[in-house]
């Protein structure tokens, strides 16, 4: 018989606050057209993207994260000293070690929290949210900061007609804390590694270091394959998340999918047969694809503009490189 004392955490967890940061530079499609043979009309019709934000040298992964984190902590009504866990999802922090989460934790003034990075591409926010929920319910942390942050402009090949217009920079953050009732539903997540070449980095860092390639590594993808997978397979995952939470599409107030592409978002809405009353996040139009940052950034904008309100029931789903995915139903802060 085990002598280990059982963990004593909260009965449930919830999102308590949200914050975001978008770089000051707004980049219209006209800038992208300087390096690829395309048109504004083609970019808009293919992706729905009109503008995106690109970070300045001063707007580092750390700096953007600190700004978003500060807003999320304030929105939650907490102080940085109350944060006992920091989870950062990113693929664009170029130091392998230490984890950028440790630097962010220090800069926001947290008191020696658990801090670590994860790499789950565009599903990274969902992965981080699930881990944070587990920490709160298990009792190893009371308030956990989850950050999705990217400087994808550093990993964009501006001569690649298939991807040059897609990516943007930014940071989104939420605080997860204890709840007396369920407010973050079961996560439906997984991976399809047999499709890992569909979205990938062009070459390993070592190829660039060793002079085997002259061009800095970038993110590339097979657009049509990604589109088909996202629309048909991820709609199934989204439905599974609804089922796991014990609700139907009619019970939803808000749908916040990863902001990858407007056509994907609209197709998922149609496949899921979402009612007209459901507010759908379409932040991709002015923010582009910010990978792990896209869901919390879209969430913050919906709340800030009044398109969504505190207490609304939202379906969130992230999907991307790996291919990985994560979906759950949450109550908005």
Give residues with Cβ within 8 angstroms of 51, minimum separation 6.
26, 27, 28, 29, 285, 286, 287, 288
Asked if the model's pLDDT at residue 1 lies above 90, the reply is: no
CA distance 223 to 166: 11
What pLDDT, on a 0 to 100 scale, did the predictor assign at position 6?
A: 79
What pLDDT, on a 0 to 100 scale, did the predictor assign at position 218?
A: 95
What pLDDT, on a 0 to 100 scale, did the predictor assign at position 280?
A: 98
Closest CA to 185 of 126, 254, 270: 126
What pLDDT, on a 0 to 100 scale, did the predictor assign at position 81?
A: 98
What pLDDT, on a 0 to 100 scale, did the predictor assign at position 132?
A: 98
Positive/negative CA dihedral, 151, 25, 145, 112: positive
CB 202, CB 157: distance < 8 Å: yes
Residue 223 confidence class, pLDDT cut points 50, 70, 90: confident
pLDDT in tens, 198-214: 999 999 999 999 999 99
What pLDDT, on a 0 to 100 scale, did the predictor assign at position 288?
A: 98
Asked if the model's pLDDT at residue 241 lies above 90, the reply is: yes
Other CB atoms within 10 Å distance of the CB of residue 171: 35
What share of the chain has pLDDT > 70, as a percent?
100
Asked if the model's pLDDT at residue 25 lies above 90, the reply is: yes
pLDDT in tens, 31-52: 999 999 999 999 999 999 999 9
- Active site residues per annotation: 122, 258, 289
Say which residue, 10 or 140, is predicted with more confidence. 140
Q: Taking residues 253-281, report their average pLDDT.
A: 97
pLDDT in tens, 164-202: 999 999 999 999 999 999 999 999 999 999 999 999 999
pLDDT in tens, 282-298: 999 999 999 999 999 99
Closest CA to 283 of 274, 295, 267, 273: 295
pLDDT in tens, 71-120: 999 999 999 999 999 999 999 999 999 999 999 999 999 999 999 999 99
């Amino acid at each position: 018989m085990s002598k280990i004392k059982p963990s004593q955490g909260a009965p449930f967890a919830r999102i308590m606050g949200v914050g975001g940061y978008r770089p000051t530079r707004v980049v219209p499609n006209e800038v992208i057209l300087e390096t690829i043979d395309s048109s504004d009309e083609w970019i808009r019709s293919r992706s729905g993207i009109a503008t995106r934000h690109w970070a300045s040298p001063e707007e580092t992964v750390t700096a953007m994260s600190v700004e978003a984190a500060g807003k999320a902590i304030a929105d939650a009504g907490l102080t940085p000293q109350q944060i006992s866990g920091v989870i950062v999802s990113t693929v664009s922090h170029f130091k392998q070690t230490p984890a950028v989460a440790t630097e962010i934790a220090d800069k926001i003034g947290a008191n020696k929290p658990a801090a670590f990075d994860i790499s789950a591409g565009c599903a990274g926010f969902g992965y981080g949210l699930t881990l944070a929920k587990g920490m709160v319910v298990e009792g190893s942390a009371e308030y956990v900061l989850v950050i999705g942050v990217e400087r994808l402009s550093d990993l964009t090949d501006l001569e690649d007609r298939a991807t040059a217009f897609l990516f943007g920079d930014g940071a989104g953050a939420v605080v997860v804390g204890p709840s007396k009732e369920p407010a973050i539903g079961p996560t439906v997540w997984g991976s399809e590694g047999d499709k890992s070449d569909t979205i990938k980095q062009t070459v390993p860092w070592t190829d660039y270091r060793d002079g085997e390639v002259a061009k800095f590594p970038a993110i590339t993808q097979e657009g049509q394959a990604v589109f088909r997978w996202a629309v048909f397979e991820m709609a199934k995952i989204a439905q599974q998340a609804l089922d796991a939470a014990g609700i139907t599409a009619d019970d939803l107030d808000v749908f916040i999918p990863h902001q990858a592409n407007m056509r994907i978002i609209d197709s998922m809405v149609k496949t899921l047969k979402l009612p007209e009353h459901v507010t759908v996040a379409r932040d991709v139009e002015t923010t582009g694809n910010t990978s792990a940052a896209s869901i919390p950034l879209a969430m913050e904008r919906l709340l800030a503009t009044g398109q969504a309100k505190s207490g609304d029931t939202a379906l969130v789903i992230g999907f991307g490189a790996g291919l990985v995915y994560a979906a759950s139903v949450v109550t908005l802060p």
